[in-house]
Structure 1
């Protein structure tokens, strides 16, 4: 019996040690929460990363259409998506974001499908940034354009950027702030130098062409991506609405200012307005030094885009594990308080996809992302009806009927964008969705047969109004 007694003492000691470790970890994680400035620039990189890529809007429609597009389109798409994110991220300040919202609104099946759609789109999109960075670098160093040097470059970029991400969200947050300022400041300098050369009549030029809706859409999208980090934000109920407002202004002004400078100070040459032309325009307006600064900023911007997206995808998997949609092991954290397996899975998928030429796959991923956004807007409206008493620290100040009209505009635009695809995209999108459904069924089998450990209480909790809010409502009615 002596050895048995000693073993129980050791076990009790381990429990106390574990409890102490958890408390220390909790205190440490509180000190590493994302602050307002971090969240602003993480949202900025989720959505934009700078005006790089806005040039096709001028090439296709001219200065007037491009300027009006970046002024008007935020009211059609960006503001409704940002309002949705502000309300639901403060009502459900948990990691997982839109997965949590869909689960609360429609149940675990739709929550899992939302997670699958959004995660797949995230890692495929992230896989494009190493190649994009090398495309910028090959202008200066042609060797990065092909062969083994390019392959090694993609590997080094992905591993180095992933390791930086793994080291903690506060490091990622300050990296985003630094990279954001370095990539944005030269465009404001360009505008300053352009003032003596501006001719406002040039802004009204409307040559023959078409409206490039997709440029506006993809350059003013993904406001909800940072919601998967809600559990890592300091005072999320206050921070999220403020961060979304500041990031929105930073993004929209960041698109419009260089357009005003380049189109107002230089003669319009539509054929020149391809990706990368803003750097050439800066060189003509202020000199070669500003051109090189913008080109360096474009390279650094890809790092910011990669870091923000990697954080979202890895913490999304952690959030899905916390509500029982993925095995509990996916919620395990590293010593840096980052998702351990969630990071490895997201980084591994990104690295593999970085070596593929997958234009059609990207379009299919964008298609299922649009399906996810339709589900997200539906979840928003459903939660307003299902849980009208849910505590919403930030609440869009309109009733359900007006809210439906507000959501109808972006939902109609999503359907319009999806309708432009070819048949092969529909087939791929459907196939990807089937894979997601099979994965959900597999998770259920693992859960029922106890093959893996899952969180068992969180999904049922999301399906009902939290007890503390129900009690508060009852007490309020009783006092009346």
Structure 2
């Protein structure tokens, strides 16, 4: 489960390139240390308490619905699925970016789109084989992912050019932009909760998976960036897909090819693990009567919600051509709001169900439960301030997010007018 959780959150240090470009080496290393303390650790603690107390299929949807009622449960799922539309489009883009960095011909014409769609199709079939197939596959994907970066760190530490350009001034400094990307790279700790009904001994498994994966994520981000920081490579040249160029400079062609392949592995592993999580949401909503019952149909052998998996794959494929940065901003906004609802549910359930058995408990009593939600709230407010003028095409990002949020409220009340029949 640690391997699957790692891919739900990270999938390697890919995606950190623009943090370095926006903030420089020293600020990047500081951001990579502070962000998990303010964002990841509070979320992991919240998830550990709720997932071990209420280990049910649907995870955070069930927590919010149980704590605050059906309206907020619906909004939790709406925000998460809306965010997933933009998040899941990021990984085919990363896959093609890394292949194209070393094999530029693969990006010409429609080849890049076809490769992205092929990746989505592969993960769709993989997920229909069930939780065990995804979990076991994640272990091997982690091995393939980490090996080139271990080599990169060794080459970088032996380069003998320590500190030459760690203080090179940046052409443009964007600290909040770097924090935004770091938040995305440290997001996803609640995703494992949606498959609780398919996990053995969830009361024991979840907290171990959360904190084991958190340590692995932080180390896998810090070590490669810190190692490259001492080599003399100019931070202004870092762009999406840039780990391949860095591998070429530090270790030559073979390392560059290995990093490009590992980039594909990371994108596939993360997409595959997140598909496992997100597709359980339409399934439980169908079981609650909010979606047609076909979304709750399970594969007779693996138990996977095969129709929900296929339907989600189609919608994610539609968003794939939107590109990287526009998808990322909307993903952080919508998914971040859903995470704040989960922190709210943590507090409400402490009040409404004080006797609920909690194998893991956020320390500090009620004050501790409230306090751990404040740093994520502050980071979300900072990202809203930073991105309130960002555009997707000619449309304001914040306006798009507001429309999506309002649509969730409208859809809920419209659904109340339709007679609901729960899935059997």
Tell whether the structures are fold-level matches, with TM greater than 0.5: yes
Aligned residue pairs, count: 413
Q: Which residue in 2 is equivalent to 1:4?
A: none
1:332 to 2:300 alignment:
no
Higher mean C-alpha deviation, range 302-311 or range 138-147: 138-147
Superposition misfits of 4+ residues, deviation over 4 angstroms: 198-204, 356-362
Q: Which residue in 2 is equivalent to 1:293?
A: 258
1:308 to 2:283 alignment:
no
Q: Which residue in 2 is equivalent to 1:429?
A: 401
Q: Which residue in 2 is equivalent to 1:72?
A: 34
- Using CA pairs under 8 Å that are at least 6 residues apart, name the structure with larger relative contact order, 1 or 2: 2
Alignment of 1:229-268 (within 5 A): 229-264=195-230, 266-268=231-233
**Residue 363 to residue 272, structure 1, CA distance change in 2 (3 Å):** closer
Per-residue deviation, 1:204: 6.5
SS of match in other structure, 1:363: helix
Q: Which residue in 2 is equivalent to 1:36?
A: none
Q: Which residue in 2 is equivalent to 1:101?
A: 63
Q: Which residue in 2 is equivalent to 1:13?
A: none
- Report the structure number with the largest CA radius of gyration: 1
**Residue 344 to residue 196, structure 1, CA distance change in 2 (3 Å):** closer
Q: Which structure is higher in helix share?
A: 1
RMSD after superposition? 2.3
Report the Cα distance in structure 2 between the residues aligned to 1:384 and 1:201, rounded to whole angstroms. Answer: 50
1:145 to 2:145 alignment:
no
Report the Cα distance in structure 2 between the residues aligned to 1:412 and 1:206, rounded to whole angstroms. Answer: 30
Q: Which residue in 2 is equivalent to 1:478?
A: none
SS of match in other structure, 1:446: coil
Per-residue deviation, 1:343: 1.2
Report the Cα distance in structure 2 between the residues aligned to 1:253 and 1:202, rounded to whole angstroms. Answer: 24
1:61 to 2:23 alignment:
yes
Report the Cα distance in structure 1 between the residues aligned to 2:371 and 2:81, rounded to whole angstroms. Answer: 28
SS of match in other structure, 1:252: helix
1:344-378 CA-partner distances (Å, limit 9, x unpaired): 22112112222445864653343222221221211
Report the TM-score, using the length of structure 2 for normalisation: 0.90
Report the Cα distance in structure 2 between the residues aligned to 1:373 and 1:393, rounded to whole angstroms. Answer: 21
Kindly indicate whether the alpha-carbon contact (under 8 Å) linking 2:86 and 2:316 is maintained by their aligned counterparts in 1.
yes
Q: Which residue in 2 is equivalent to 1:26?
A: none
Higher mean C-alpha deviation, range 87-96 or range 335-344: 335-344
Q: Which residue in 2 is equivalent to 1:167?
A: 129
Kindly indicate whether the alpha-carbon contact (under 8 Å) linking 1:95 and 1:318 is maintained by their aligned counterparts in 2.
no
**Residue 333 to residue 402, structure 1, CA distance change in 2 (3 Å):** same
Kindly indicate whether the alpha-carbon contact (under 8 Å) linking 1:81 and 1:224 is maintained by their aligned counterparts in 2.
yes
Report the Cα distance in structure 2 between the residues aligned to 1:360 and 1:210, rounded to whole angstroms. Answer: 17
1:182-236 CA-partner distances (Å, limit 9, x unpaired): 1112212222233333566569637453422112211111111121111111111
Q: Which residue in 1 is equivalent to 2:392?
A: none
Kindly indicate whether the alpha-carbon contact (under 8 Å) linking 1:365 and 1:429 is maintained by their aligned counterparts in 2.
no
1:453 to 2:415 alignment:
no
**Residue 129 to residue 289, structure 1, CA distance change in 2 (3 Å):** same
Per-residue deviation, 1:133: 1.6
1:434-459 CA-partner distances (Å, limit 9, x unpaired): 32223222332233xxxx52159xxx
1:310-358 CA-partner distances (Å, limit 9, x unpaired): 1111112223334444444432211221013321221121122224458
Kindly indicate whether the alpha-carbon contact (under 8 Å) linking 2:97 and 2:241 is maintained by their aligned counterparts in 1.
no
1:85-126 CA-partner distances (Å, limit 9, x unpaired): 111111111121111111111100110011011012113211
SS of match in other structure, 2:110: helix
Kindly indicate whether the alpha-carbon contact (under 8 Å) linking 2:148 and 2:259 is maintained by their aligned counterparts in 1.
yes
1:417-475 CA-partner distances (Å, limit 9, x unpaired): 1222336223222221232223222332233xxxx52159xxxxxxxxxxxxxxxxxxx
1:271-317 CA-partner distances (Å, limit 9, x unpaired): 22222333333333333222211111001111111101211111122
